[in-house]
Structure 1
C-alpha cells in the first residue's frame, strides 16, 4: 500500500471537489481517496506502486474535465499551505464583467425600453456575465456530470429568458456571480484563518559551520549540526542547547503563554520562539522528524478521518441535487401537460427549484467547521487526529485515567523517614541508599537522590533483587532487607506497619525492622480542579487504573475525586479491566495515559488520549488525541472545543436545510421568486461559511 498527495490549486467548487473524490475512488488500483476542500489536497492510497504514474494521469484527466482551471501539483511529505490567489475566485476581470453587466441590467428599467431593444440589452448583459458558466455547463454535460451548479444555473436562467422573464434571468446569473465572489472571499478567509493557527513552520535555520553562519532551509540541516537561534526567531529543529541561556515562548506547541527558562543542556523543540538570549543548539532530529513537522502533519492530515456528520453530508449531497432536479422537472411538466395549467407559471416555479438545488452551503461549511475546531484545538496544545475523534468527544461519558504520569507527576521523592530503636533517620536513608545503589527502579533512585552523597559500593556485597518484593544485600557485613511487607514476612520479621498514600519501603537489619521510608509520587498541580472541570463536561464516570498497591491507589483516587479505582494491576490486567469497562458502558470510553507504557489500552479505547507527549513518537502513534503538556485540564478544553464545533455544524445544517426547504415549498406554491432562490443558494452558503469560522475560537 502506498500513499501520495496531490495539491489542487484553485479548487473552490465544493461540489466539484466531491465529484473528484468520488471518481478517483472509482479508478482501478485506488484503495481509498479523500479530498480536503479546506487545504485543497487529495490524499490517495493505491494498492500497487507500479500503477502510480498511470493513476496520477487519470486523476489529472478527471480534474481537467471537471475543473479546467485547477492545477494539479504532486506533493512530497513536506509541504506548506498555499496562500496563493486562486483562479477559482472572481478576479479583476470578473469584477469588471459584474460591473458592466450590472450597468446594462438597469438601463432598460431607467430608459423604460420595450421590445427588441429591451431583449437585446438584457441578452448582452446575460452573455457578458454568464457565458463562462454556460461553456462550463456544456463541457460538464458532455463529460457525463450534468448535476452541477453551472448546469443548473444555465438551465434556470435560459428558462427564464424562454418564458419572457429577461430581468430575472440576468438578475439570477448576476447575483449568483456576486454571491460566488463573496463565497470565494469567505472560503479563503476561513482557509487563511485556519492556516495562521498552525503557521508554526520555521522559514530558515542559521547553520554554524567552521565558525561561519549560513542561512539555510531547515530541511538542509542534519543531526549533529549546530544552529544559532537569535532573539525573536523560531527554533527551527529539535535539539539540545550547548551554549547560552534564554526565555522561550512555547505557546505555538503547548498552547501555554507562560515563558519557559532555558539553560545549557536543556532540550528545545522546533516551533518554540526564542525571546531573549542567543542560543547555540545541537540538532537531535531531522526536520521531517521534528516536533513542528509532526504537529503540522497531524493537523493537516486530520481531515482524512472524516466525522460521521461529514460523511452523512457527502452522501446526502449526492442524492439531494438529483432529487430536487427531478422534482423541478415534475413541477414544470405535470401541471401544464396533465392539468392544463399555464406552462410559463409552472416552468418558472421549476426554475426556482433548480437554483436552490446545489448543496454548496453544507458541502463547504461542514468540513470548514471541523477543520476550524481541529485548528483551534491544536493552538490550545490539544492535537486531534481527525474530525471523527473531535465529534466522538461529544459522546464520551466515561474517562479512564492511568495514575503515574497522568494524575501524578511520575517523579518519586522521599517524603518521610521513621526510625526505630537507636538507629537515626540519617542512618536509615544511608543504609537504604547503599542497598538501592544497584537498582534502576524509580523508587530506588529517589532514595539514592534523597541521600545526596557519594556512595561507596564496595560496602555492598551479595546484592540480590527479589521480584515484586525488594532487595536483599550485605552492607558492612550486616544482612539488610529493603522492600515491602511480603519481603519481611518471607524472612519472619515483624514490621511496624504504616499508612500513607505514598509507597512504603521497610528497612531491616540483622533480622529486625529498624526503619520505614515513605516515597511519594506527587500529585500534579491543579489536578483536583482539573478532574472537577472534566466531570462538568457531562462525564458520568471517572475511573483510575494503577499498578500501585490498592490501598494507595484508592487514597489517591479519593483525594482527587475519581469515582472508581483499580489497584495492584499488571499491564495485562489493565487491558482486561478496560475491556470490561467498555462492555459495561453505553457511551464512548476515553483512556488517558502517558502514551508509552499504556499503548495497548490507548489503542483499544474508543478515544485514546496521550498525556504530556511533547516530542514522544510512541504517544503520537498510539493515541487519537495528543495533549502536548502534562495538564489533564486540557482534556476539558478539548471537550469544550468539540461541543462548540458540533453546535456550529448543527446550526449550519439546520439553517441551510431549513432555508432551502422553506424556499422550495414557497417556490412550489408560486410565492418565492428567483431572488429568494439565489439567497437560498449563495446567500445561505456565505452565512454558513462565516459561521464556521467561529469554530476557530479557543475556549
Structure 2
C-alpha cells in the first residue's frame, strides 16, 4: 500500500473538513482516508497493484475538486511541495487583508448611525453588508446551484436576507459583520493552536554537517548514510542517531524524554536524533539513516496519531450530520406553523425567531474543538516523553480502572546484582564460579550478564577466561545447558532441575536464585537481587490515591514477588508466571469487566500489550516489536510517566467534555430564549462563532498542562 499526505492550506472550517473527509472516502480505490483538522492534513492509501502513479494523480485531482467545491480558498498541497515559509507569509498577508476588509465594514456600519438621511444610512449599511458578506453570499449562491442547503454560508445568507425582509437592516448587517469577525478570530485561534501543537513536537533537524577527509559541508539529514561522520556544534539539534567518536558535551534530551536536566555524553556513548548539544563540539558516527532515526519515528508516530480517532470524535462527526438539518427543520416549523395556528400571532415575529435558529444551526464549535482538544493532549504527552499512537488510546487511558505491571525492568531496574553465593556440601567455590562462567558467558539475558560482571571482578577469573562451550542450549524460561570437554553444565532456576530430574535445596532467601550443576552434581547457587526503580513507590502510591486497582505479574518465585509487593503496597500479584500465564491473567481481568492498562518493558510482553485496553511499553523507542504492539510508548524507563499520562488523558477528556456541554448548552439556551421572545440574532451570533472561539481557546488549555 502507498500512503499519500496532502495538506489543505487555509482550511479553517471544521464542519467543511468533515464533509471533505466523507466525500473523499467515496472515491473508488482509496482506503484509510483521514482528515486531521488540527494539522490540516488529509491522508489516504491506495494499492499500487490496482492504481498506477498516474491514476493516483487523477485521484488527487478528484480530491482537489471536492475541496474547491466546499472551500474555494483552500489549496491542496502535497507534503513534498509544502513550503512552510511561503505558507506563513501567505497567512500573514491574508490576515492583513482581512483586518482591512473588516475594519472598513465596521467603520461604514457605525457611520450609518450618524447619517442624517435614511437613504444615506441605507447606502452605508448596504456597502458594509457587501464588503463584509460578499464571500458568504458567493459561496451560498454556489451551494444553491449544487443543492446544498445546510451549509453555514447559505444559512447565514438566508438569515440576513430574512432580517432585511422584515426591516431589521442594522441587525442584518451587524450579524454578517460580526459573523465574519468571529470567523476571523476563530481562524486565528485555530492557527495559534496548530502552531502551539507543532512547537511541542518541533524536533525535526534542519541540517547535518557532514565531515569529509579534508572538508565539512552542510547537507540534508536525508543525504547522510550509515557510518558517515557528522559534526554537531553547541545549540544544534543532533540530526541522526549515532555514537560519539570525538568530544564530550552536555545534551538536552527534554524534547524526547521530558527530562529537564541535561546529561553528559562522551566517546562511545550512543546519542539520539532530536536532542540538543549544549556546550561543546562533538563528532558522531551515524548508525541509522534518517528515515529509521529516533526523530523520524517519533514525528511519524505523533503526526499520524490523529488517524486513530477517539469514540467522542466519531460521535461528534455523526452528530453534526443530523444536528444542522434538525435545527433548520425546527426553524422552518417556527416560521410557518405558529402564525397559522396561534391566534394573534404575527408572521414578522415568528420569522425573526426562526432566523435565530438558522444562525445557530452550524455545529462548528463541536466539530472544531473536539479534535483540537485531543491532538493538544497528544502533543502535550509527547512533550513529556510519552508517545500516544491515537486519540482513541488517549481517551481509553482516561477510562481505565486497573493497572497491571510487569515487574522486571518495569518496577525494578532489571539490572541484577549478585548478593550471595551458596555452596553445596563438598563443592568448591572454584568449580561453582567456573561452571557459572561457562554457562552464562554467551547469554544475553540480564541475569547472565550480571553474573558474568560479578565473576569478571574476581581475581582468579583469568585462568578460565578462554573457556568456551562446545554446545550451548538456551532453555526458555528455565536456564541454559552447556557441553564442554565431555562435561555437561546446567545453570537456571528450580524448573531446570525438575526438567532433568535433579533435586535442589529450598533456599529461603530473597532474590533470584540461579542453581549450578556439573554432570548432574549440584554445586551451589548464585543469588541475585533486582533493585526497585527510584520512582516505583511514588507511582504505586499515586495510582492507589487515584483509586486504580494495581496488579503485579512476574516470573519470579513467590518469596521475591511477595517482598516487592509488600514494599510497594501492591495488594494483587501473581508469581512464577510464564508469558502465557500473564496473558491468561489479563484476560481473566478483562472478563470481569475491568478496563486495563498494561505496563511492560516491551521485550517479551507483546501478546499482553496487544490484549490490554491500553498497552504501554517503556524506554522502547528502539524496539520495533514494542512500538508495533503497544498503544503508548514511554521514552524513558520511568514508571511514573504512567501517572503523568493518565493525568493528561483525564484533563484532555475533561476539556473535551466541557466543550461539548458548553457548546450544546449555550445553543439550546439561545434557542429557548429565541422561542419565548428574549433571544436576538446578536445573541445567536455569539452562540455560533463566539462559542466556537471560546471552545478553541478552552482546548488550548491542554497545551499548558503541567503535571504536579
Of 372, 389, 392, which residue of structure 1 is paired with 2:393? 389
The corresponding residue for 1:693 is 700
| Distance across 2 between alignment mates of 1:430 and 1:291 | 41
The corresponding residue for 1:417 is 421
SS at match of 2:679: coil
The corresponding residue for 1:675 is 682
* 1:530 lines up with 2:532 in the alignment: no
The corresponding residue for 2:563 is 555
The corresponding residue for 2:313 is 310
The corresponding residue for 2:51 is 49
**In the alignment, is the contact (CA less than 8 A) between 2:221 and 2:290 conserved in 1?**
yes
Assess, with a 3 A threshold, how the Cα gap between structure 1 residues 4 and 620 changes in structure 2: closer, same or farther. Answer: same
* Larger displacement relative to structure 2 (563-572 or 74-83): 74-83
| Distance across 2 between alignment mates of 1:85 and 1:679 | 31
**In the alignment, is the contact (CA less than 8 A) between 2:102 and 2:181 conserved in 1?**
yes
Assess, with a 3 A threshold, how the Cα gap between structure 1 residues 411 and 190 changes in structure 2: closer, same or farther. Answer: same
* 1:108 lines up with 2:108 in the alignment: no
**In the alignment, is the contact (CA less than 8 A) between 2:339 and 2:347 conserved in 1?**
yes
Residue 634 of structure 1 and its aligned partner are, at CA, apart by 0.2
| Distance across 1 between alignment mates of 2:625 and 2:472 | 33
Of 293, 296, 301, which residue of structure 2 is paired with 1:298? 301
Q: CA offsets, 1:269-301, max 9 Å, x none?
A: 101111122111111111111111111111111
Residue 369 of structure 1 and its aligned partner are, at CA, apart by 0.6
Equivalent runs, 1:429-448 vs 2, <5 Å: 429-430=433-434, 432-437=436-441, 439-448=443-452
| Distance across 2 between alignment mates of 1:462 and 1:297 | 46
Residue 566 of structure 1 and its aligned partner are, at CA, apart by 2.4
Assess, with a 3 A threshold, how the Cα gap between structure 1 residues 670 and 598 changes in structure 2: closer, same or farther. Answer: same
Residue 153 of structure 1 and its aligned partner are, at CA, apart by 1.1
The corresponding residue for 2:371 is 367
* Larger displacement relative to structure 2 (207-216 or 442-451): 442-451
The corresponding residue for 1:330 is 333
Assess, with a 3 A threshold, how the Cα gap between structure 1 residues 77 and 104 changes in structure 2: closer, same or farther. Answer: closer
SS at match of 2:416: strand
Assess, with a 3 A threshold, how the Cα gap between structure 1 residues 587 and 82 changes in structure 2: closer, same or farther. Answer: farther
Residue 519 of structure 1 and its aligned partner are, at CA, apart by 1.7
The corresponding residue for 1:158 is 161
Q: CA offsets, 1:100-132, max 9 Å, x none?
A: 222222233224533x33322221221121112
| Distance across 1 between alignment mates of 2:474 and 2:22 | 62
Equivalent runs, 1:121-270 vs 2, <5 Å: 121-270=124-273
Residue 456 of structure 1 and its aligned partner are, at CA, apart by 2.1
**In the alignment, is the contact (CA less than 8 A) between 2:438 and 2:482 conserved in 1?**
no
Residue 22 of structure 1 and its aligned partner are, at CA, apart by 1.2
The corresponding residue for 2:634 is 627
| Distance across 1 between alignment mates of 2:556 and 2:496 | 16
Of 45, 60, 64, which residue of structure 1 is paired with 2:64? 60
| Distance across 2 between alignment mates of 1:596 and 1:77 | 39
Assess, with a 3 A threshold, how the Cα gap between structure 1 residues 314 and 88 changes in structure 2: closer, same or farther. Answer: farther
| Distance across 2 between alignment mates of 1:627 and 1:211 | 41
The corresponding residue for 1:655 is 662
* 1:36 lines up with 2:36 in the alignment: yes
Residue 516 of structure 1 and its aligned partner are, at CA, apart by 3.2
Provide structure 1 residue ranges, at least 5 long, that are not aligned to the other structure: none
Assess, with a 3 A threshold, how the Cα gap between structure 1 residues 130 and 473 changes in structure 2: closer, same or farther. Answer: closer
Residue 496 of structure 1 and its aligned partner are, at CA, apart by 5.0
| Distance across 2 between alignment mates of 1:357 and 1:105 | 25
Provide structure 2 residue ranges, at least 5 long, that are not aligned to the other structure: none
The corresponding residue for 2:277 is 274
| Distance across 1 between alignment mates of 2:470 and 2:112 | 108
Residue 509 of structure 1 and its aligned partner are, at CA, apart by 7.0
Assess, with a 3 A threshold, how the Cα gap between structure 1 residues 118 and 154 changes in structure 2: closer, same or farther. Answer: same
Assess, with a 3 A threshold, how the Cα gap between structure 1 residues 252 and 154 changes in structure 2: closer, same or farther. Answer: same
Residue 83 of structure 1 and its aligned partner are, at CA, apart by 6.1
| Distance across 1 between alignment mates of 2:359 and 2:120 | 27
* 1:606 lines up with 2:613 in the alignment: yes
Q: CA offsets, 1:310-367, max 9 Å, x none?
A: 1111111111111111211111122234446222211111111111111111111111
| Distance across 2 between alignment mates of 1:180 and 1:435 | 72
Assess, with a 3 A threshold, how the Cα gap between structure 1 residues 170 and 419 changes in structure 2: closer, same or farther. Answer: same
The corresponding residue for 2:577 is 569
Residue 630 of structure 1 and its aligned partner are, at CA, apart by 0.3
The corresponding residue for 1:14 is 14
Assess, with a 3 A threshold, how the Cα gap between structure 1 residues 458 and 688 changes in structure 2: closer, same or farther. Answer: closer
Give the number of aligned pairs.
Answer: 696
| Distance across 1 between alignment mates of 2:144 and 2:226 | 55
**In the alignment, is the contact (CA less than 8 A) between 2:616 and 2:631 conserved in 1?**
yes
| Distance across 2 between alignment mates of 1:322 and 1:354 | 10
* Larger displacement relative to structure 2 (21-30 or 648-657): 21-30
Assess, with a 3 A threshold, how the Cα gap between structure 1 residues 33 and 82 changes in structure 2: closer, same or farther. Answer: farther
The corresponding residue for 1:357 is 361
| Distance across 1 between alignment mates of 2:130 and 2:496 | 94
* 1:545 lines up with 2:553 in the alignment: yes
Assess, with a 3 A threshold, how the Cα gap between structure 1 residues 489 and 147 changes in structure 2: closer, same or farther. Answer: closer
Assess, with a 3 A threshold, how the Cα gap between structure 1 residues 362 and 477 changes in structure 2: closer, same or farther. Answer: closer
Over the aligned positions, Cα root-mean-square deviation in angstroms equals: 2.8
Assess, with a 3 A threshold, how the Cα gap between structure 1 residues 79 and 49 changes in structure 2: closer, same or farther. Answer: farther
* Larger displacement relative to structure 2 (3-12 or 83-92): 83-92
Q: CA offsets, 1:163-205, max 9 Å, x none?
A: 1110001110111111112111111111111111011111111
* Larger displacement relative to structure 2 (412-421 or 61-70): 412-421
TM-score normalized with structure 2 length: 0.92
The corresponding residue for 1:636 is 643
Assess, with a 3 A threshold, how the Cα gap between structure 1 residues 139 and 454 changes in structure 2: closer, same or farther. Answer: farther
Assess, with a 3 A threshold, how the Cα gap between structure 1 residues 385 and 488 changes in structure 2: closer, same or farther. Answer: closer
| Distance across 2 between alignment mates of 1:27 and 1:184 | 29
* Larger displacement relative to structure 2 (436-445 or 602-611): 436-445
| Distance across 2 between alignment mates of 1:37 and 1:569 | 45
| Distance across 2 between alignment mates of 1:81 and 1:195 | 14
Residue 55 of structure 1 and its aligned partner are, at CA, apart by 1.8
